[in-house]
């Protein structure tokens, strides 16, 4: 039977006295949220809204649940129905009656998150005749679930009150189990006995069988009046390791409160809980969290920091930390721009190469430019009926801040919205010479703080190579407000076709076109990683790759190597021995590799016996080249390379 339209009788509902139906109809309401008035998004074409059902395209509200009256200006719904309005892009929940009248919620009178109940009043009470209450229902009797089934209006469906089952954590109360059909929109609606009296609040649909859950009305009536009660067991984890915390989110705050004040009080408690969980999970086995502990050494003493796509540092189940590798998909943009996209656990990780026709001044400072480039890559689409309509612009973000991670890198944090889906897009953007390294997540509006906190924590476990043309590097280094401390200490002096000089706190390199060409489009890649440094770990340049043009086979590579600890296996000691004793391939002898000719040698600051840091210099030329030519080029490279650390 549909409340608010023709009441179509059924055999099941016929046993419910027809004289009760107007009272049930008047006391039962949809819980609704207003559809956004404005859409910040731009689409590739007009949305084909005609493909939607009439009700979907004409209704100005989203239907999210059911509520009912139990007294004078006293209404009940499920706690999770009310909480759907927390930070929602759809606005705060309201009640709608069968005639389409909408009533704003006034004050929250009772709230128990664990029992999933809320009692509240309305700003303007329509004063329906409330439902009578039965606190002693009889098992195995016929019952009626009344609710907003799948957003199509309030319906009544019959079944049996079959059993009670203890609540899952401590058995402090019993859930009612019933066989009357229930859909997601039924949440918060009344469960009635054969006399039309409310015996429970419909809460959950069973996942595996048609036995659904309700909270007995006695629990609603006995709930405290003056305090909101929060006691919910939640699990918490980060994508970097398999550690999981299972704790209870607990707290109270005074009632009654207006709905905005209630949400503010809840948000304050929940956000503090998230921060506590984040702190605790990183403190758990803190001596084994990267870069601490022997499980970090294999990563710290390996040449692993040359990666164009951002990669997450994660811990295996054996306790070893490594760089996670993922399948990458490239989305091409105009004017040599592109977006490389990969998934790292539940997060997107991306590298955006700035299109050549996008001015640097706008690219780094105007988030609309970034959002439009992400949209043009085809990442976002809105489903309307059977069609997927591409979003071509995200508009202005609702927030644009900066986060400085533990390595002093400055991430731009932008949040955009998809109002039609009540979703936020949270993006952490690390400026690079050629564009951005990014991590991104889609989060429900109400869960955005939790998701953003995860992304914030994971920035300390992200690594990416700084890459770009010499022209891009020159523009990038001018934007000092974007630069991490380690890059601010890098000085690049270039005179095209004449000289290049790169100075860092740990090494310098300089050369002329006698070694390699120096042009605006010559490519300079600087791996930046976590550097063991005399008992501590810092973040900074670990070398460079230089190529006159990406298509050329001639290039140079410089890389920092640190004496490995004795705890690592023999392969590390053997590699170190090769370096300091100049054994192959570090003996300045040309050799063939992959159709090219290579030559390499170590470079130290002082004595072999005292140094714990050795830089390796590689020079590569295409095809087969003679030893004397390769040695001449290597000598030029070594002459211009200065090591400033021991």
Q: Which residues are catalytic?
A: 80, 116, 187
Task: Enumerate helices (H) and strands (E) in the chain, giving the number of each.
Answer: 14, 42
Contact (Cβ atoms closer than 8 angstroms) between residue 613 and residue 563: yes
Q: What is the DSSP string of 512-555?
A: -TTTS---TT-EEEE-EEEEEETTEEEEEE-EEEEESSTT-S-E
Angle between helices 448-458 and 259-283 (to 10 degrees): 30
* Helical (H) or strand (E) element with 307: none
Q: What is the DSSP string of 234-298?
A: EEEE-TTSS-EEEEEEEEEEES-EEHHHHHHHHHHHHHHHHHHHHHHHHHTTGGGSTTSSGGGHH
Cα–Cα distance between 196 and 287 in angstroms, integer? Answer: 62
Cβ-proximal residues to 162 (8 Å cutoff; 6+ apart), any chain: 139, 140, 177, 178, 179, 211
Q: What is the DSSP letter of 627?
A: H
Contact (Cβ atoms closer than 8 angstroms) between residue 510 and residue 499: yes
Cβ-proximal residues to 522 (8 Å cutoff; 6+ apart), any chain: 469, 470, 516, 546, 547, 548, 549
- Picking from 467, 426, 472, the residue whose alpha carbon sits closest to that of residue 445 is 426
Cα–Cα distance between 256 and 91 in angstroms, integer? Answer: 21
Beta strands in 310-422 (DSSP E): 311-315, 321-323, 329-332, 338-344, 347-353, 381-384, 387-393, 399-404, 410-418
| Pairing, β 555-562 against β 28-34 | unpaired
* Helical (H) or strand (E) element with 472: helix 470-478
| Pairing, β 102-112 against β 227-237 | parallel
Q: Bridge partners of 410?
A: 404
Phi, psi of 527 (to 5 degrees): -65, 130
């Amino acid at each position: 039977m549909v409340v608010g339209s023709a009441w179509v009788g059924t055999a099941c509902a016929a046993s419910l006295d027809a004289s009760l139906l107007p009272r049930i109809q008047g006391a039962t309401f949809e819980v609704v949220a207003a559809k956004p008035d404005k859409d910040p998004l731009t689409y590739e074409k007009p949305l084909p809204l005609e493909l939607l059902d009439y009700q979907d395209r004409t209704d100005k509200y989203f239907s999210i649940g059911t509520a009912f009256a139990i007294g004078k200006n006293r209404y009940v719904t499920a706690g999770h129905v009310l909480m759907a309005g927390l930070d929602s892009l759809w606005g705060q929940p309201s009640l709608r009656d069968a005639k389409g009248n909408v009533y704003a919620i006034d004050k929250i009178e009772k709230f128990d998150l664990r029992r999933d109940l809320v009692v509240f009043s309305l700003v303007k009470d329509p004063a329906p005749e409330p439902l009578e209450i039965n606190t002693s229902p009889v098992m195995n009797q016929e019952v009626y679930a009344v609710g907003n089934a799948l957003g199509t209006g309030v319906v009544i469906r019959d079944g049996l009150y079959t059993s009670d089952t203890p609540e899952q954590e401590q058995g402090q109360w019993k859930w009612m189990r019933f066989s009357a059909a229930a859909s997601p929109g039924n949440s918060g609606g009344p469960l009635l006995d054969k006399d039309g009296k409310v015996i429970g609040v419909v809460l959950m649909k069973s996942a595996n069988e048609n036995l659904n859950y309700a909270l007995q009305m006695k629990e609603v009536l006995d709930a405290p009046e003056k305090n909101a009660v929060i006691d919910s067991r939640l699990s918490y984890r980060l994508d970097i390791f398999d550690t999981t915390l299972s704790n209870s989110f607990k707290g109270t705050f005074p009632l009654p409160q207006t709905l905005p004040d209630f949400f503010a009080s809840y948000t304050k408690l929940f956000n503090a809980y998230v921060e506590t969980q984040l702190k605790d999970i990183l403190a758990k086995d803190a001596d084994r969290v990267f870069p601490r502990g022997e499980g970090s050494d294999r990563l710290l003493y390996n040449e692993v920091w040359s990666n164009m796509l951002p990669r997450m540092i994660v811990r295996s189940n054996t306790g070893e930390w490594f760089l996670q590798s993922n399948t990458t998909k490239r989305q091409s943009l105009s004017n040599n721009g592109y977006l490389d996209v990969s998934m790292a656990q539940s997060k997107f990780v991306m590298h955006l190469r700035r299109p050549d026709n996008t001015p640097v001044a706008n690219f780094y400072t105007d988030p609309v430019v970034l959002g439009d480039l992400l949209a043009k890559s085809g990442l976002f689409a809105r489903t309307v009926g059977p069609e997927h309509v591409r979003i071509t612009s995200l508009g202005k973000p609702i927030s644009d801040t900066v986060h400085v991670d533990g390595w002093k890198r400055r991430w731009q944090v932008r949040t955009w919205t998809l109002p039609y889906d009540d979703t936020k897009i949270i993006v952490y953007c690390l400026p690079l010479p050629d564009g951005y390294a990014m991590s991104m997540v889609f989060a429900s509006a109400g869960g955005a703080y939790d998701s953003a906190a995860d992304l914030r924590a994971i920035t300390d476990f992200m690594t990416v190579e700084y890459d770009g043309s010499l022209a891009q590097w020159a523009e990038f280094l001018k934007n000092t407000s974007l630069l991490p401390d380690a890059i601010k200490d890098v000085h690049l002096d270039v005179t095209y076709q004449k000289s290049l000089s790169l100075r860092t706190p740990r090494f310098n390199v300089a050369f002329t076109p006698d070694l390699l060409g120096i042009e605006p489009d010559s490519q300079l890649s600087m791996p930046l990683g976590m550097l063991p440094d005399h008992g501590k770990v810092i973040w900074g340049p670990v070398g460079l790759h230089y190529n006159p043009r990406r298509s050329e086979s001639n290039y140079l590579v410089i890389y920092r190597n640190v004496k490995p600890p004795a705890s690592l296996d023999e392969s590390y000691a053997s590699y170190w021995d090769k370096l300091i004793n100049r054994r192959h391939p570090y003996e300045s002898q040309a050799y063939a590799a992959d159709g090219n000719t290579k030559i390499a040698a170590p470079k130290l600051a002082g004595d072999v016996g005292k140094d714990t840091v050795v830089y390796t210099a590689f020079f590569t030329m295409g095809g087969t080249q003679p030893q004397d030519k390769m040695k001449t080029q290597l000598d030029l490279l070594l002459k211009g390379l200065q090591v400033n650390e021991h």
